[in-house]
Copies of this chain bind each other. A is one copy, B any other.
Amino acid sequence: MASDEAAPAPVPVPTPVPAPAAVDSVAPWKYSNRVLLRTVLERSDGGLGLAGERLVVGGWVKSSKEEKKEAPAPALAPAAKTEAGVAEHKDVSCVELFHTPIPLFRSIMKVFSGSSRPTQHRIEAGVAKQQPPPPPSPPPSIAFLQISDGSCVASLLVEVDSSTAPPSRLPPPIGTCVLVEGTLKRPETQGKHTIGLKAEKILHIGTVDHDSYILSKKRLPLEALRNSLQFRPRTTTVNSVMRIRSALTFATHTFFHDNGFLNVQVPIITSTDSEGSSQKFHVNVLPRKTVPKRDQTVKKESADVSLDAIKAAAREKSKLVDELKRTESNKEALVAALQDLKKTDELASQLEATEKLKSGAPMKAKERKFFEDFFPNETYLTVSGRLHLESYACALGQVYSFGPRFRADTTESPKLVAEMWMVEVEIAFSKLEDVMDCADDFLKFSCKWILDNCAEDMKFVAKRIDKASIDLLQSVLSKPSVKITYREAVEALTKAMDNKEMKIEGGVALTAEHLSYLADELYKSPVIIYNYPKEAKPFYVRLNDDGETVAAFDMVLPKVGKLLTGSQSEERIDSLTKRMKERGVPQEQHGWYLDLRRHGTVIHSGFSFGFDLMVLFATGLTDVREVIPFPRSFSKADC
C-alpha cells in the first residue's frame, strides 16, 4: 500500500518504447489490505528499492528487544498522528484510535482498507478490555521486532517507538500478533541488505501469555511440538516444511493436469476391503456402547408402529404425490413428497422383512444383513483407492486421485501413520513399463518443482535440517533412476551379505533395511524394483507368464525407503478369481470390481505414491509426523 506521502520512487530504467512509467511500489495482497512480506523481502534487492513506501504489514513476533532512548523521539510520532487525523490526542493508543466519532473513524478506515466499512469490520485490539491506562511517564524507548507472516522464510525488522504503542506492551513477547502501518526504511547497520519498517500506527495487537506459551521456549525439539499441534506451524521449521508441502500439492495437480490425466475423488467410506487388510478403521454413527449386534435388524421407529399403519401412511403419501404431479404447482414440494414416500416404502419393506423373520418365514440372506446404523453393510475408511480408480480408468482412460488413506496399524514407525495422503494413478491401455516411466517422471517433476519454486525454503532446510537435501533433489534429476528386477535385487543383496548382517529370503517382500541398502549404499539413487514374487503382492496384480512373478513394482528412495508401489493390474477374469481364491479374498464383496473384467476389460496399470513420504524426502526430516499438519497415529488423535 503506497500512501501519498511515500518518498519518490527510483527513476525507472529508460526503455526505447514509450510506456507508462514503472513505479517501484508494492501492492497490498488482494484479500486483506496488508502487504505480504514475501512481496517485499523476496525481491532481488531485499526490498531496498521500496524504501519510503508506506504500507501495512501483519505477522507474529519471532523475536524482540527494547532500547531505551536518551530523549523522547520528537519527529515521527506527531506526523503519524496527523496523517491519521487525530493529532489532538496527545497519547493516543491503538485502541483509542478507533474510539473516534464515526465519520472520522470511516476516514481512518479508508486509509487502512481502501473503503469505509460497516461496523462489523471495525478493527479492535484483541486485548482492548484488559488494557489498563498507561503507567505514569515510562522512559521512552524503541522496540525492535522481527515479524513473520508465513509467506516466506525471512522476517521483517519492525521498529516501534514507545510513543506509537502503549509502552506496557513493549517489547511484545514472541508470538504476539501485530498489524502495523509504517514506512519502509533502509537499515542503519552497515552490511545489512534487507529493508526494515518504521511503525507509525499499531492497528492490532494479539497478546501472548509468555509463561504458558510453549513457543516462548527457544529451539524446542520437533518431537515435543507434537503435543502442541495448534502452534507447531508457527515455528520457522514447520512453517517452511508446510510451504514445501503446499508446493508439492500444486506440483502434483500440475503434473497430472499437464499430462492429460483427469482427477477423480474416490470414496473415503467404502464397503470394499481393497487389500484384504485387517488393519481397517470401521465407520459407524451410533455411539459404540449402544450398537446392537448384527441381525438384531429392526429399525427403532418400526418397533412402535404396526406394518399396517405404515402401509396406510404410504398409500396416503402416494396420493399426495399424485396430486402434486397433477397440479404441477410446486416442484420442491413434489420432490420432498417423493422422498417421503420412498422412505415410508422402505420402512414398510424393512418391517415386513422383520415380521417374516419373527414368524419363521424364510428371508433372503441380503435382507437379514441390515442392522441399526447409518449404512446397512460394514463400512471402512479406505485403505487404497486404486480399485475404485480402475472403474474410472475403464471410462476416462487416465485418471488420478489425491486424498487421505487410512491404516489402523499399531506398529510405531517414523514412515507410517494412521492417516496419510496418497496420489493414486490408473491408466487404461498401459503396461508395467509405461506406468514405471510415469512414476519416475512424476518423482522428477516434483523434485524439480521444489528446486524451482521453493529456493528460499530449501536453503533454510539445508541449513537447519539436512545439508544434503538440495544435492539429493538435484541428484534425482541428474541421472535416470535404477531399474532392477526383484531377482536382481536379491542377487545384489546376497552378494552384500558377506559384509552386512542382512539375511535375505527369496519369495517375500524385502525389508526396510534391504531397501535402504540398495538405495542409500549400493546405487545412491531412486531404485525401481519390479517383477515381484506373487506372494509379496496383492490379489489384483497381473500374473506374469512364468506363473511365479507378478507385474508389480516398488520405488525406493534414499533415506525415505519405499515411496510408491505400482503394478499392471490383472485384466483376465480367470486369473483374477484364481488369485482371489488363493489369497482368501471374498468375491462377493468384489462383485463390482470383477464386473470391470466381465464387460470391456482392458490392459491397465497404476501406482500409489506416498505423498507424505515425498515431503519427508524433500525436507530431509526423518519422521512423517513432522510433515503432516495434524498427524494421527496409534493412540494419538489430538485436536
Contact indicator A208/B599 (Cβ below 8 Å): yes
Instruction: Collect the chain B residues with CB atoms within 8 Å of residue A36's CB.
Output: 260, 397
Instruction: Collect the chain B residues with CB atoms within 8 Å of residue A121's CB.
Output: 431-433
Contact indicator A249/B243 (Cβ below 8 Å): no
Contact indicator B242/A396 (Cβ below 8 Å): yes
User: Interface stretch among A77-85, A303-311, A541-549?
Assistant: A541-549
Nearest CB of B to A14, in Å: 31
Flag whether A345 is at the interface (Cβ < 8 A). no
Which A590-608 residues sit within 8 Å CB-CB of chain B? 592-593, 595-603
A240-259 contact mask (Cβ, 8 Å, vs B): 1 or 0: 00110110011001000101
Contact indicator B398/A31 (Cβ below 8 Å): yes
6 example contacts (A-B, Cβ-Cβ < 8 A) are as follows A119-B546, A129-B574, A245-B263, A268-B404, A288-B291, A381-B381
**Residue of B with least CB distance to A550:** B120
Nearest CB of B to A541, in Å: 11
> Which of B120, B177, B242, B632 is close to A392, meaning CB atoms less than 8 Å apart?
B242
Contact indicator A637/B229 (Cβ below 8 Å): no
A153-167 contact mask (Cβ, 8 Å, vs B): 1 or 0: 000000000000000
Flag whether A30 is at the interface (Cβ < 8 A). yes
Given A30-B259, A120-B531, 17 more contacts at CB 8 Å? A60-B600, A120-B568, A129-B574, A151-B396, A207-B600, A230-B391, A233-B392, A233-B394, A234-B395, A246-B264, A268-B381, A282-B286, A283-B381, A288-B291, A339-B413, A346-B635, A377-B637
A54-75 contact mask (Cβ, 8 Å, vs B): 1 or 0: 0000101100000000000000
A38 to B398, CA, bound (A): 13
Instruction: Collect the chain B residues with CB atoms within 8 Å of residue A271's CB.
Output: 637-639
A408 to B404, CA, bound (A): 19
A278-308 contact mask (Cβ, 8 Å, vs B): 1 or 0: 0011111111110101100000000000000
**Residue of B with least CB distance to A435:** B31
Instruction: Collect the chain B residues with CB atoms within 8 Å of residue A281's CB.
Output: 269, 283-285, 374
**A129-B574, A282-B285 as given contacts; A29 in contact with B342, CB under 8 Å:** no
Nearest CB of B to A35, in Å: 11
A260-277 contact mask (Cβ, 8 Å, vs B): 1 or 0: 101111111111100000
Contact indicator A263/B250 (Cβ below 8 Å): yes
Nearest CB of B to A113, in Å: 7
Instruction: Collect the chain B residues with CB atoms within 8 Å of residue A600's CB.
Output: 60-61, 175-177, 206-208, 234
A93 to B548, CA, bound (A): 28
A238 to B438, CA, bound (A): 27
Nearest CB of B to A511, in Å: 10
Contact indicator B396/A230 (Cβ below 8 Å): no
A111 to B289, CA, bound (A): 64
Q: Considering residues A212, A238, A287, A418, which has the most beta carbons from chain B within 10 angstroms of its beta carbon? A: A418
Nearest CB of B to A300, in Å: 11
User: Interface stretch among A184-192, A422-430, A460-468, A521-529?
Assistant: A422-430
Contact indicator B230/A592 (Cβ below 8 Å): yes
Nearest CB of B to A159, in Å: 20
Instruction: Collect the chain B residues with CB atoms within 8 Å of residue A431's CB.
Output: 32, 113, 117, 120-121
Contact indicator A428/B603 (Cβ below 8 Å): no
User: How many monomers of this chain does the complex have?
Assistant: 2
Flag whether A571 is at the interface (Cβ < 8 A). yes
A377 to B636, CA, bound (A): 9
Contact indicator A283/B280 (Cβ below 8 Å): no
Instruction: Collect the chain B residues with CB atoms within 8 Å of residue A176's CB.
Output: 600
Nearest CB of B to A28, in Å: 10
Flag whether A34 is at the interface (Cβ < 8 A). yes
Which A123-137 residues sit within 8 Å CB-CB of chain B? 123-124, 126, 129
Contact indicator A242/B264 (Cβ below 8 Å): yes
> Which of B129, B294, B435, B603 is close to A289, meaning CB atoms less than 8 Å apart?
B294
**A280-B285, A397-B151 as given contacts; A269 in contact with B177, CB under 8 Å:** no
Contact indicator A635/B243 (Cβ below 8 Å): no
Flag whether A343 is at the interface (Cβ < 8 A). yes
Flag whether A498 is at the interface (Cβ < 8 A). no
Contact indicator A239/B396 (Cβ below 8 Å): yes
Contact indicator B639/A230 (Cβ below 8 Å): no
**A126-B597, A176-B600, A599-B175 as given contacts; A639 in contact with B267, CB under 8 Å:** yes
> Which of B287, B339, B512, B603 is close to A204, meaning CB atoms less than 8 Å apart?
B603
Contact indicator A262/B242 (Cβ below 8 Å): yes
Instruction: Collect the chain B residues with CB atoms within 8 Å of residue A61's CB.
Output: 600
Flag whether A168 is at the interface (Cβ < 8 A). no
A240 to B294, CA, bound (A): 41
Flag whether A122 is at the interface (Cβ < 8 A). yes
A560-575 contact mask (Cβ, 8 Å, vs B): 1 or 0: 0000000010011110
**Residue of B with least CB distance to A428:** B58
Contact indicator A637/B568 (Cβ below 8 Å): no
A178 to B32, CA, bound (A): 55
> Which of B34, B129, B571, B635 is close to A429, meaning CB atoms less than 8 Å apart?
B34
Instruction: Collect the chain B residues with CB atoms within 8 Å of residue A596's CB.
Output: 230
> Which of B206, B289, B388 is close to A601, meaning CB atoms less than 8 Å apart?
B206
Contact indicator A419/B639 (Cβ below 8 Å): no
Contact indicator B230/A635 (Cβ below 8 Å): no
Instruction: Collect the chain B residues with CB atoms within 8 Å of residue A264's CB.
Output: 242, 246, 629
**Residue of B with least CB distance to A175:** B600
**Residue of B with least CB distance to A269:** B632
Nearest CB of B to A422, in Å: 11
Instruction: Collect the chain B residues with CB atoms within 8 Å of residue A91's CB.
Output: none
Contact indicator A119/B545 (Cβ below 8 Å): yes
Contact indicator B638/A592 (Cβ below 8 Å): yes
A123 to B122, CA, bound (A): 69
Which A494-530 residues sit within 8 Å CB-CB of chain B? 512-513, 516
Instruction: Collect the chain B residues with CB atoms within 8 Å of residue A234's CB.
Output: 394-395, 600
Contact indicator B32/A395 (Cβ below 8 Å): no
